[in-house]
Amino acid sequence: MQKYVAYYRVSTQKQGQSGLGLEGQQQAVAAYCEPVEAFTEVETGTNKRQRPELLKAIAACKRLGATLVIAKLDRLARNVHFVSGLMESGIEFVACDNPQANRLTIHILAAVAEDEARRISERTKAALAAYKARGGELGNPKNLTTKAAKKGNAANVAAAEKHRAEVLPVAQKLRDAGRTLTEIAETLTGRGLLTRRGKAWSATAVSRLLG
């Protein structure tokens, strides 16, 4: 019987604690197979490149003669060289969102995912620049003195409601379409629909928005 070792990845410590994104990955893997072991990577600024849990998962695959299973290819890495290095480790791995993919297909999909990550980064930078050009102020709100703050709480509440009315329908439509909180965050940011404070969306922020 084929054995599988599951590997899950979330991007921040806070996201790992809340389970945002993790539950969806676990459900996708459970629908595909019953892993004998599972490893969850909670990436931080210090371990983002090393991915210690992935190394443990690879070691488990070699020890058990198992296949590494992931929910989605972009959960593994948005980097062609990283995927290539994993393939050179000698273990087999499969992505639940494309289980028929062969090695060439995986290289192509990884390249597409890497390119999309780059485009999202570029769109985020452009959106932030446009926001700043319109008079928005970037940085920690506690350290900023804005005209809105001087006009009092009523103006802030009105601005917040207006922003929510613009963004919420888009986020809700994506949620109804089955998109994850992380995917919604990336889509909103990519479209230039930043948070009210002019920052890129996070899965946690989207969760608060959707209530």
90-to-8, 58, 68, 83, 87 alpha-carbon distances in Å? 20, 9, 11, 12, 6
Which residues are CB-neighbours of 114 under 8 A, at least 6 positions away? 78, 79, 80
Find out whether 188 and 171 touch, Cβ atoms under 8 Å: yes
Which range among 19-23, 51-55, 158-162 has the greatest average pLDDT? 51-55
186-to-4, 115, 133, 164, 183 alpha-carbon distances in Å? 30, 14, 22, 17, 5
Catalytic residue, chosen from 11, 84, 89, 121, is 11
Whether 11 is catalytic = yes
Query: What is the location of CATH 3.40.50.1390 in the chain?
Result: 4-108
**Helix-strand-coil split of the chain, %, nearest 5:** 60, 10, 30
Distance CA(143)–CA(43), nearest Å, equals 28
Whole-structure pTM value: 0.51
Distance CA(204)–CA(182), nearest Å, equals 8
3-state secondary structure of 137: coil
> pLDDT by residue (tens digit) across 134-177?
776 666 655 555 555 555 677 777 777 888 888 888 888 888 88
Closest to 102 measured CA to CA, from 73, 60, 65: 73
Question: What percentage of the chain carries pLDDT values higher than 90?
Answer: 19
Q: Which CATH superfamily is domain 4-108 in?
A: Resolvase, N-terminal catalytic domain (3.40.50.1390)
